[in-house]
Structure 1
Amino acid sequence: MTEQHSSDWLGLSGSVAVVTGGGGGIGRATAVSFARAGARVAALDRDERGLAETKAKLREFGDGHLVASCDTTSEDNVAAAADAVARTLGPSDILVNTAAVLRPGGLDTLPLAEWNAVLAVNLTGYFICAQAFGRQMRQGRTRQSHPRRLDRRQQCAGAERRLQRQQGRCRDALAATRR
């Protein structure tokens, strides 16, 4: 069992977290938060300068992180990054897609080529990454190695039991006020 960090209230210690867009903004903040919680982080981005800053911040939380250039619009690039993550850190447990681009101006003046570039990163890139890293998630871990990872039915059943207990407490409290 991996040591749990005090800031690891989600039980992420030892998990492999992949963050696209990890070279800046929300992506860097997400990568650093995962590292603070004890996860092994793979920060991916096209922005080499931003990745250098992210790498320096991740070093504050020790070794065991990967910072790599990756164009999420390229299946080959993402496949190579996924292979590097699996070789270096192990199969991914978590994927956070924060890679995105914005184009200034209104839709009525945006050229089609710019629109397609936005879709390639903001939509298709998410899809490509979800496929590549999702395969690792399905193949790489078992429930025995990560017992905290429950399937959706178990999560829903647990939430339903908690809700029923809470409803019971509310009924009891209401009945007590009517006595």
Structure 2
Amino acid sequence: MIDQLLQYDKELFLYLNNLGSTTFDGLWLVITNKLTFIPLYAILLYLIYKKLGWKVLLLLILVVAAMITFTDQITNVFKDSFQRPRPCRTEGLEDLMRYIAPRCGKYGFFSGHSSNSMAVAVFTGLLLKPYYKYLVFILLFWSAMVAYSRIYVGVHYPLDIICGMAFGALSGFIFYKLQWYLRSRFIS
């Protein structure tokens, strides 16, 4: 059963990855780059400051740093435990796929980009929902674009992405609840 699931995952990867074209490669390389979204993070920090003040902002910076560290480290534990090779490191796929990423890590289950972007999207979307009710949908769309970019550039299978997004959503929700506890305890 697991072998069949992994085979379907490989087939879906090849289909989605081969939808790409050289016309859009540059766009997806920009989307997959972690540094691309620094302006987005700056805007989110500004919105938090504007609506919640500098004390809450400072606390939330610490909470988000802990959330990203937690999510990233759990991702690494999964990668080292499952040791599922990335598509770009899978024998027999080289001639069937498009690989345009600047580098290819060793293991891919599950995607750190997907888990981290989804954690930020859920956390920030829930936090700012009372003030900007559609922001959560914009952030979820952004996270999905980051996730798909990992398939497009050839470094993750769809299952890596789906599990990464699910873990990121759970992590974002848990840290969202944690920030409420910390705010009620330390900021009046």
TM-score, structure 2 normalization: 0.29
Looking at secondary structure, tell me which structure has more strand per residue: 1
Which structure: greater helix fraction? 2
Q: When the two structures are superposed, what TM-score results if normalisation uses the length of structure 1?
A: 0.30
> Which structure has the larger Rg over C-alpha atoms?
1
Relative contact order (C-alpha < 8 Å, sep 6+): which is higher?
A: 2
